[in-house]
Every structure is written in C-alpha cells, then in structure tokens.
Amino acid sequence: MSTPQKALKNGLSSCLSCHQLIILPARGGRCRCPRCDSRVHGRIDGSLMLTWALTITGVLLLLPANVLPIMSVIYLGAGEPSTIISGVMQLYNSGMWGIALVVFVASIAVPVMKLLGLVLLLVQIQLRLHFVPSQAMKIYRVVSGIGRWSLLDLFMISILVALVDMGFIAQVAAGPGSTAFASVVVVTMMAARSFDPRLIWDAYDGDLYATAVEPETAHRGAAENG
Amino acid sequence: MDQLRNKKPVPWQRACHECDLLLTGGLAPAGQKLVCPRCRCTLHRNGNHSVYYTIALSLTGLFLFIPSASLPLLKFSIFSFGAENTLLNGVYSLYKAGFIWLASLVLFCSVLAPLGKFLLLLFICCGSAWRVLDRAVANAVRWYQHIKEWGMLDVYMLGILVALIKLRDLGKMDVEPGLYCFGAMMVLANLSSLSFDQHAIWQRMAQRPTRPEAAT
C-alpha cells in the first residue's frame, strides 16, 4: 500500500474538467464524464505530438513577431515603425526602466521562456532523461500560468490605436508583427493546454505510453465484445 | 497485475489531475485546501459559503460591466485634439485598420471571456438550485473551465498602465471614470473565480432530495 498507485493502471481516470474519478471502459479507455459530459481519456490523446506541433509553430512564429514592426507612432508626419525590442529600448532610453522591464518580461522573456520550457519538458519525457519530476512540474506550472501575460503588448496596441488617432498630428498604427505575436501567444497557450502533466510522472515511473488495459485484459474484453 | 487483481478494492475517492496519483481523501475540510502529496498541486480549495460569495461577486461584476464597457477609460489630447478609449473602440479601430484576427482576439480576451465568466458563474451558482437545469449547469461548468484562462482583465489593466506611461510625454493623458469601474471589475473577476468551488456545486446538486424514479 505504501507504493503510490496510479489511476490509469487501475483502470481509473480523473475527469480533467470536474475532477470526478471515473472507471474507464475496458477497451479504448475513453468515455464521457457522467457528471459534466466532457471527454475523459486516460491521457490526453496525442498530447506529446500536439504539444510538439504547437511549440514548433510558436517558435517559427516568434521570428516574424520579433522582426516585423508591431506598431508605428507617427507624430507630425514623422515616425518610424517599432518592433517589440525597439519599443522596450525606447522606454528604457527615456528613463522608464521599470515599465521597460515589465514590457520586456511580458513580451520577450515570457514567450521565449515558455517555448523553452515546453521543449525541455517534451525532450525530458521523450528521451527519458533523468529528471526530478517535482522540478518538471514546477516548469509546467510556470509555463501554463504565465502565458496570458504576454498579451499585454497587444492590449496596449489596441488602446494606443484608439487613443492616438488625430490624423496628421499623431497616429498610431498596428503593424504586421502584432498579428504574428498574437498568434505566438495563442499557440503557446494552446500548447500548454494540450500538454498532459501526467506524462511527466509516467516517464518518471518508467512506463511511458502506459495503457489502461494490460494485453491479456484487452484480449478478454475483445472476446466479450465480439 | 496478479497482485492488483487479488487485492481488495480500495475506496479511491479521487485521482490527482496533474500526476494521476490515486487518493482516498476526496474533499478538503471547510476552510482548508487539499494538496496532492506527490506533486503539490492544489486539488480542492474549500472556501466558506462559496456558492453565495460567488453569486454576490459575479452579480456585482456584471453590474460594473455596464459602466466600464460604456464609459471611456482614458482620454488623450494633444493641443485641442482629443480622443477617448473605451473597451470596445480599440477593438473597432483595429478592425477598421484590417487587423481582424488581432481585433477578435482582443475582443474575446477583454470583453467576451470576462463577461462570459461572470454570466456562467452566476448561472452555475443560481441554476444549481433547480433540478431542471442540471444538464445545463453541468455544461456551463465545462464551458467555464474552457474559457477561464482567456479572461484577461488584469492583463488589460496592466496594458492601460503601460499605455498611460508611454503616452505621457506625447500629450495630455486623463483618467476617466470608466477606468475606476474597470479596475473594480477586474478585482471582482479575480475574486469571483477564486471563490468559485465547483465541488460545492456538485455537492449542492447531489444533496437535493432524490428523484422519485430510480436513476438510470
């Protein structure tokens, strides 16, 4: 009794939405939660593959997001488009290093750290490296918790675009980089959602891709059904 | 496997949703929280009077939504030219400039998702009193879990502050009454999602007198 028991090995699973403990059906290991009607699976289907796909998309999108201008402030007919980094530098140069730090953390550090964290988790699990699961869980929680803060820059752009709209005197226009940046944020948030932290513990226990049903039981289930 | 099959069934109550550890204790005692012994994730936080607090907070939030969506938040002026910012006209300007994807994302995260969260919480907490609404409440709880992390009023608030400081040397910036309502709404949004405890809802639904006909 002292060894920790895993739900999936016992044919049980927790509903991710309402946390009800559910007996998984013998075959397939997939059903609907009787209480809240959301899909229940032993592990999220294709979690690693989906997370990889979204993470790689995020990395690719990060390039245009940082290279293309996210907005341009035109003051008295003059003004150049600014990228995320140049916006931070501008704030820093005008002496507002506190705000510069906030913007830097939210729009550069957070997306990069998030993608790095996801890649680290995925690599750890797939290569079965030696890792401390409690540390991996910390990475997972940080990754899934901080993502939303990177939308800060986009909200700021939407506020500036509405506020500074005086024709020739001053105008703020959003740039193509902001679309890419918005996609980075959405894609990384979805990647964090599709990652199943229970796989960390599966990899730690040494039974990755653990199935709810042992081969013999599966066979028996098939015989009963057929 | 043999060992597992011969064992007497253990009354498992719950599996940790982050590490899949089976636990015999299901719910936290009143006023405390239940933490997974293996991965330290919070499994259940049992606040006092969760249902009533959530009703009160989300109702107040809904009322505050009206002024904060209709009143201007900020006012910016250069010389005699001025422009105001409301929750919606930033979205509209982006949409007009052709940034449809950006506009819809900002609209969803700063208006629709927070509004949806308030409405769903109110519906869940009030609706759980009637048996007719059982199915609808269960669906609402599921939807709430989906849109929960997309309500970003606090991030928007920080965006306002950054915009306020960024435009300081370009022209004159005024804080309008809408911003105070918005700030209060942000606090209420966070408080209501903190006080919401879905297990209290499930318990409330389960503790009603049973149906006359047996459950199928």
Q: What are the DSSP calls for B134-153, one per residue?
A: HHHHHHHHHHHHHHGGG--H
Residue ranges per structural domain of chain A: 1-42, 45-206
- B189 pLDDT above the threshold of 90: yes
The pLDDT assigned to B140 comes to 92
Q: pLDDT tens across B8-63, in order?
A: 566 778 888 888 888 887 788 887 888 888 888 888 888 888 889 999 999 999 99
Neighbours of A127 (CB within 10 A): 9
Give all domains of chain B, ordered by start, each with its CATH number: 1-48 (no CATH), 51-198 (1.20.140)
Q: pLDDT tens across B9-22, in order?
A: 667 788 888 888 88
Tokens of A146: 């901080």
Q: pLDDT tens across A147-185, in order?
A: 888 899 899 999 988 888 877 778 888 888 999 999 999
- Asked whether the beta carbons of residue A174 and residue B1 sit closer than 8 angstroms, the reply is no
The pLDDT assigned to A119 comes to 94
- Alpha-carbon distance of A146 to A102, in angstroms, equals 13
Q: Please state, rounded to an integer, the average pLDDT across all residues of chain A.
A: 82
- Asked whether the beta carbons of residue A159 and residue B202 sit closer than 8 angstroms, the reply is no
Q: Looking at chain A, which residue has its C-alpha nearest residue B7?
A: A1
Q: Confidence band (pLDDT; 50, 70, 90) for B211?
A: low
The radius of gyration computed from the CA coordinates of chain A, to the nearest angstrom, equals 23
- A76 pLDDT above the threshold of 80: no
pTM listed for this prediction: 0.85
**Chain B residues touching A94 at Cβ < 8 A:** 169
The pLDDT assigned to A28 comes to 64
> CA A77 from chain center: how many Å?
40
Residue B79, sorted as left (phi over 0), alpha (psi -120 to 50) or beta, turns out to be left
- Please give the share of chain A, as a percent, with pLDDT higher than 90: 26
Q: Confidence band (pLDDT; 50, 70, 90) for B4?
A: very low
Interface contact A154, partner B, CB < 8 A: yes
- A125 pLDDT above the threshold of 50: yes
- A31 pLDDT above the threshold of 50: yes
- Asked whether the beta carbons of residue A162 and residue B90 sit closer than 8 angstroms, the reply is yes
Residues 6+ apart with CB under 8 A from B181: B64, B67, B68, B71
The pLDDT assigned to B119 comes to 95
- Asked whether the beta carbons of residue A162 and residue B89 sit closer than 8 angstroms, the reply is yes
- Asked whether the beta carbons of residue A75 and residue B18 sit closer than 8 angstroms, the reply is no
Q: How many residues does chain A have?
A: 226
Is there a contact between B104 and B30 (Cβ–Cβ < 8 Å)?
A: no
The pLDDT assigned to B166 comes to 82
User: Hey, is A174 helix, strand or coil?
Assistant: strand
- Alpha-carbon distance of B197 to B45, in angstroms, equals 7
- B175 pLDDT above the threshold of 90: no
Q: pLDDT tens across A128-154, in order?
A: 777 788 888 889 999 988 888 889 989
The region of weakest confidence among A95-109, B75-89, B180-194 is B75-89
Torsion, Cα B159 B164 B166 B170, to 10 degrees, reads 150
Stretch A20-41: mean pLDDT, rounded? 79
> CA A164 from chain center: how many Å?
33
Neighbours of A97 (CB within 10 A): 13
Q: pLDDT tens across B103-115, in order?
A: 999 999 999 999 9
Q: Confidence band (pLDDT; 50, 70, 90) for A207?
A: low
> CB contacts < 8 Å between A and B, how many?
207
Q: Which helix (H) or strand (E) holds A92?
A: helix A84-93
Residues 6+ apart with CB under 8 A from A163: A172, B74, B76, B83, B84, B85, B163, B167
- Alpha-carbon distance of A142 to A132, in angstroms, equals 16
Residue with tokens 């906030």: A102
Q: Which helix (H) or strand (E) holds B4?
A: helix B2-6
- Amino acid, res. B7: K
C-alpha distance from residue A163 to each of A149, B18, B76, B87, B208 (Å)? 22, 44, 6, 11, 53
Given A8, A99, A157, which is nearest B165 (Cβ)? A99
- Alpha-carbon distance of A33 to A14, in angstroms, equals 9
Q: What is the DSSP letter of B10?
A: P
Of A159, A161, A183, which to mutate for an interface test with B (greatest number of B Cβ within 10 Å)? A159
Q: Supply the DSSP string of B62-82, one letter for each residue.
A: HHHHHHHHHS-SEEEEETTEE
Is there a contact between A200 and A135 (Cβ–Cβ < 8 Å)?
A: no
Of B10, B14, B20, which to mutate for an interface test with A (greatest number of A Cβ within 10 Å)? B20
